[in-house]
Amino acid sequence: MTSASNRSHGHEPESLHDSLSGIADLVRKEVRRELGVAREAAGEMLDRGREKAEELREGVSERIRERPLTSVLVATGIGVLIGALVARRRD
């Protein structure tokens, strides 16, 4: 009975090891799949962000061409405001 008992216990750790190894493989596969999905989604978001930035740049460029004097005055005003804020922080 002792030898039969030892044999059954001898197979359990191996069987447990095989089961855990199989579960680990499944987890790895699922993680890789989810990472692929996340990479794809991030790539799509990056592409959309680039498109929006390009649209914004084109819109700003068009407005500057339409009203160059107003654009220069606005840019000057923003520069003066930033300069005043920087000067205030130094004091």
**pLDDT tens across the length of the chain (91 residues):** 444 444 444 456 678 888 899 999 999 999 999 999 999 999 999 999 999 999 999 999 999 999 999 999 999 999 999 999 999 988 7
Model pLDDT, residue 81: 97
**Which H or E run contains 88?**
helix 68-90
**Residue 13 pLDDT:** 63
Helices (H), the chain: 2-66, 68-90
- Whether pTM exceeds 0.85: no
